[in-house]
Amino acid sequence: MAANMKEHTDLGGDAIRVEQDDRGILTLTLDMPGRSANVLNDQFSVPFAALIERIESDDSVTGVIITSGKKNFMVGADIDGLFAVTDPAVALQMAGDFKAMLRRLECCGKPVVAALNGSALGGGLELALACHRRIAINDPKAKMALPEVKLGVLPGGGGTQRLPRLIGIQAALPLLTEGKELAPEKAAKQGFIDELADDADDMLRRARKYIEGVIESGQPATQPWDQKGFKFPGGDSKHPSQGHMWPIAPAMMNQKTRGNYPAPRNIMSAVYEGGLVDFDTALKIEGRYFAELVVSQESKNMIGTLWYQLNKINKGESRPQGVEPGQVKKLGVLGAGMMGAGIAYVSAKAGIEVVLKDVEQAGAEKGRAYSEGLEDKAIQRGRSTPDRKKAILDRIKPTADVADLDGCDLIIEAVFEDRELKGKVTEETEAVMDPKGVFGSNTSTLPITGLASRSSRPDQFIGIHFFSPVEKMPLVEIIVGEKTSDETLARAFDYVQQIRKTPIVVNDSRGFYTSRCFATYVMEGIAMLAEGQHPRAIEQAGLKAGMPVGPLALEDEVSLSLSLHVMDQTRKDFEAEGKPYAPHPAEPTVRKMVEELDRPGKKAGKGFYDYPEGGKKRLWPGLAEHFPLADEQLSQQEMVDRLLYAQANETARCFEEGVVTTAADANIGSIFGWGFAPFHGGTLQFTNSVGGPAAFVSRARELAERYGDRFAPAAILGKMAESGDRFDAS
């Protein structure tokens, strides 16, 4: 501590260090014990409220600097407390207490500076917005954001009112409704960070300089919205400059969210209504919209899955215990198509040396060029640099020579979905790779145990299933075969985290988890088309269900020809095993589209949609001729239920069979893997959110009576309906 600083150990409790210099400037250092980050809870708010009272009443305090003793400034509310609230009155009081505390701080008359040494998220940024000045270290890794919308709530500490008054309504709305994260430099350009500092010393020096300037002025520190004649930058909600936006913005939002996400709607309402009244009334309006969201089913679903369950996965809940963590040093990728090229890129980007092998050198070079193209786009968008691009490309060695795979401690094959081809490359590669290395197959459907039969070391063989495009999709599905060892699983898990993706662990089965359950969505859409439902209504039902793309468009993306290949392979496998094969009702339609109509999907420019060059895709007009409309058209809700229940029921079967073993893997896998609606919290949480397994079973039986046994509820759901049990929701 500097010689001119006096510490007050009696004021900040355990969470806040309090120091005062000889000019009366109080420095509050947030440093909550036992936590890696500062959060908003009673451990913080109780001593902070007492400190505000001291600031207001103690004439020796001339100004305040609020900073952090941790890596980041503050990461927001304590999610545990928020998740536990079920009474809107409690939520209203919770937000009201925090707002009242911040209001006292900004109205104390003494200059208060937020010295942001790292990320300020959620309530942490709201605290900073209530200060008279915000100074941040110019660290590109730091994030400034109000991300509450991503958990189904809104900023409840005045964020929906202070931010628009600082930077204008139109600039604030995307940050609030999308939860966009900005680095300090971009936040400064937006106008809610006032100064950028080089380091912590520079930040504190600038903070003191600002406070001393206010002291010397002899004027009290006030917020812009508390000053006489204040006007919103760009105008308030009733200003003519905003007139064109308000009729359009809600419609645009509804088109994007399909009315499934109440948080963006409530945020927009709070901003609009708050922009018509004085600041204190606006805070009350925000509080009511906040309280409604906190107790909503959508919020509980999203917090339970996207916070608690995702954290469980990231902390290694599915990773074998007792195996030392490790990192891949040299990776071999077999197959330089789009999938293999994407795997090479994300691995090289994470600092791993990559050998990208294809049958021909030209193919391998083309695969490496894929990384070059991605980096060129990133440079154009300011997200990369020429030096970074060079470093990534230097780590990728394109080759047609299997000998170059010598010493690879991990091999991932990404060749065509053919059992014989995969077996051949397995045998060829294992002869030269590191004897202790792991061999991973990127297959999306072929059982791992069967593929491992061609391996000389099946205990070191595992499925590592990426999703396309690899550089954008956050999930990797790790598939454990019958002989896969715990050490092999741990090494695959560590690799997935090394490349900054989310791993889920599943057991071997045909289609594993994600491909098996994802297929029910597109197949159900195709079945409805075969029944004579209007293709446009089917696609709209998919969007209303919360899926990112309609089932027919998604099947075009996957490729009808690939789906048919999988169906044919599955039929052969069942026959070879002496098992009866029951085709899905959609199979004849897929076969007809490929074999009779020569419309194999988007890659060929023709599937359920036409893909005119330079134009937007459109549903193929020929669908009306080949799949005539039925006299009875289903309601949208009926179609939505079919699409959602098909996926959730198949997930329950996977859980029952031990293909997935945790609710976290199932829910996160469904959202990150194939885009199941986040507001439902994932496929297993969907069964909870519709009223629990008993309600789910009742509706599933109705659907089974009308559309077939594929909707008959999984046995585990019937047992849970009787016992009253539910899937883990957190």
Residue 233: is the preceding peptide bond cis (ω within 30°)?
Answer: no
- E strand residue ranges, 38-97: 63-68
Q: Which H helix or E strand runs over 291?
A: helix 279-294
Going by the DSSP 8-state scheme, the letter that residue 408 receives in this structure is -
Q: Are 278 and 293 in contact (CB under 8 A)?
A: no
Distances (CA, A) of 388 to 84, 349, 379, 546: 45, 9, 9, 37
Q: CA–CA separation, 440 vs 600, rounded Å?
A: 29
User: What strands, in cross-sheet order, belong to the sheet with 63-68?
Assistant: 5-7, 16-21, 25-30, 63-68, 112-116, 133-137, 195-197
How buried is residue 367: exposed, middle or buried, by Cβ count under 10 Å (0-12/13-18/19+)? buried
Specify the residue for token string 């009926």: 638
Distances (CA, A) of 492 to 320, 326, 334, 373, 586: 11, 9, 17, 28, 35
Number of C-beta neighbours around residue 256 at 10 A: 13
- Mapping DSSP onto H, E and C, the string for 224-265 reads HHHCCCCCCCCCCCCCHHHCCCCCCHHHHHHHHHCCCCHHHH
- Mapping DSSP onto H, E and C, the string for 92-151 reads HHHHHHHHHHHHHHHCCCCCEEEEECCCEECHHHHHHHCCCEEEEECCCCCCEECHHHHH
13's tokens: 């409790």
Q: CA–CA separation, 62 vs 58, rounded Å?
A: 9
Number of C-beta neighbours around residue 341 at 10 A: 29
Q: What are phi and psi of 550, to 5 degrees?
A: -65, 160
Radius of gyration of the chain (CA): 29
682's tokens: 């994932």
Which residues have a Cβ under 8 Å from the Cβ of 163 and sit 6 or more positions away? Answer: 129, 146, 172, 175, 176, 192
461: helix, strand or coil: strand
Q: Is the dihedral of CA 51, 56, 59, 60 positive or negative?
A: positive
Q: Are 697 and 684 in contact (CB under 8 A)?
A: no
Whether 465 is catalytic: yes
545: helix, strand or coil: coil
- Chain Cα centroid distance, residue 485: 30
Q: At what angle are helices 560-576 and 551-558 packed, to 10 degrees? A: 80
Catalytic residue among 8, 132, 465, 626: 465
Specify the residue for token string 């299933």: 465
**Among 410, 407, 374, 377, residue whose Cα is nearest residue 393:** 374
Q: CA–CA separation, 69 vs 18, rounded Å?
A: 12
Going by the DSSP 8-state scheme, the letter that residue 691 receives in this structure is T
Which residues have a Cβ under 8 Å from the Cβ of 342 and sit 6 or more positions away? Answer: 370, 466, 468, 469, 470, 471
**Among 526, 532, 533, 528, residue whose Cα is nearest residue 587:** 526
Tell me which amino acid residue 390 is: K
400's tokens: 């047609």
Q: What are phi and psi of 477, to 5 degrees?
A: -95, 120
Q: CA–CA separation, 293 vs 77, rounded Å?
A: 15
Q: CA–CA separation, 609 vs 146, rounded Å?
A: 39
Which residues are identified as catalytic? Answer: 465
